[in-house]
Amino acid sequence: MPELPEVETVRRGLAPVMEGAVVQRLELRRADLRFPFPDGLAQTAKGRRIVSLGRRAKYLLLDLDDGTVIIMHLGMSGSFRIIGDEVAAPGEFHHTRSRLAAHDHVVFHLLGGDGSAAQVVYNDPRRFGFMLTSRRDALEDHKLFAGMGVEPAGNAFNAEELALRFSGKQAPLKAALLDQRIIAGLGNIYVCEALWRSQLSPRRKAGTLVRKKGAPTQRLVRLVDSIRDVISEAIEVGGSSLRDHAQADGSLGYFQHRFAAYDRVGQPCAHVGCDGTIARIVQSGRSTFYCPACQR
DNA sequence: CCTTGAACCTGGGCGC
DNA sequence: TGCGCCCAGGTTCAAG
């Protein structure tokens, strides 16, 4: 479930439980996810207080009080859930704590500042996710973050900035927007949605949105606005929940109900005055959904 | 530089 | 009911 809005939703769900809590134990239930866990990860985290849970692009950043940062990526199928140790309400069964399921690979056993215990469980069937560590003061130089593109929800993201990065690019817009070295955080869904909103063809060369002198075209301004809008709207409603994928608190995101292009092959294009039909093509090995009639 | 294809994994959906 | 195939929110690497 993980493009930027989903990762931000996860962050907001976990932060109240994790920030300020002490890691009593970090339980690694296998030796690796996509990569092996760093040597001594469990020992490194044990007894540390969590200073903050942040996010950069699709990465979650768990800052510990000794300057260690645990970098977490959800891959394609990663998710977190919280298990509290709340006493059952009268008349209810007491939910067994630590009811673990298949593909629960990591468990943060936490003790909150108020004395409450909680467990934060990482589940990832496909195991494309990973957890690595860095020092906070070296994070910007970390291989994963050096050369990473601009945050589409951040202040530095604007048409002038994107014009610089698109200038001279022959790559199709779809590929350019998915390139994390240009913009960091967009994935297949939100790229399709942003291109549909701005009525730009996913096949158009990125460089065609930049004027000769390097200034952004009106189309590029439209694209930037669409990206900003679609990302912020998705975050507002808790991201997309595909396959009933729940957020950390068990609730579902609702943005999938607002998809205008993604996964809507054969459905009529919703742009006013357009009688086109959403089509699916494959670009760089991934599905692109768009309206051939109005996206130019 | 650019593009494609494959790889890493598991599971859901669909056609037969 | 089962099997085989295709597809999936991401990233990375090799090869042309």
Question: What's the rounded Cα separation, in Å, for the pair A77 and A228?
Answer: 25
Which bases of chain C are contacted by protein, using any atom under 7 A from a CB?
7-12
The mean pLDDT of A91-106, rounded to a whole number, is 70
- Is A58 catalytic? The answer is yes
Whether the CB of A202 is less than 7 Å away from nucleic strand B comes out as no
What's residue A98's pLDDT? 52
A198 CA vs B1 C1’ separation (Å): 27
**Mean pLDDT, rounded, of chain A:** 93
A103 CA vs C2 C1’ separation (Å): 25
Q: What is the pLDDT of residues A102-142, one digit of tens each?
A: 999 999 999 998 899 999 999 999 999 999 999 999 999 99
* Residue A65 reports pLDDT greater than 50: yes
Single out the catalytic residue among A2, A5, A172, A202.
A2
Kindly give the pairing relationship between strand A104-111 and strand A117-123: antiparallel
Calculate what percentage of chain A has a pLDDT beyond 70: 95
Contact A226, A58 (CB under 8 A): no
Paired residues of A182 in beta bridges: none
* pLDDT category of residue A234 using cuts at 50, 70 and 90: very high
Question: What's the rounded Cα separation, in Å, for the pair A258 and A264?
Answer: 11
Return the structure tokens found at A120.
């934060």
* pLDDT category of residue A254 using cuts at 50, 70 and 90: confident
- Is A3 catalytic? The answer is yes
Report the amino acid identity of residue A12: R
Q: What is the pLDDT of residues A168-206, one digit of tens each?
A: 999 999 999 999 999 999 999 999 999 999 999 999 999
Domains recognised in chain A with CATH numbers: 4-141 (3.20.190.10), 159-290 (1.10.8.50)
The mean pLDDT of A158-165, rounded to a whole number, is 96
Phi, psi of A77, rounded to the nearest 5 degrees: -130, 15
Residue lying closest to nucleotide B10, CA to C1'? A126
Question: What's the rounded Cα separation, in Å, for the pair A223 and A229?
Answer: 10
Whether the CB of A181 is less than 7 Å away from nucleic strand B comes out as no
* Residue A287 reports pLDDT greater than 60: yes
The mean pLDDT of A164-168, rounded to a whole number, is 95
From A195, A253, A268, select the one nearest A226 (Cα to Cα). Answer: A195
Report the amino acid identity of residue A208: T
Nearest DNA or RNA nucleotide to A127 (CA to C1'): B9
The mean pLDDT of A75-95, rounded to a whole number, is 70
Query: What number of residues does chain A have?
Result: 296
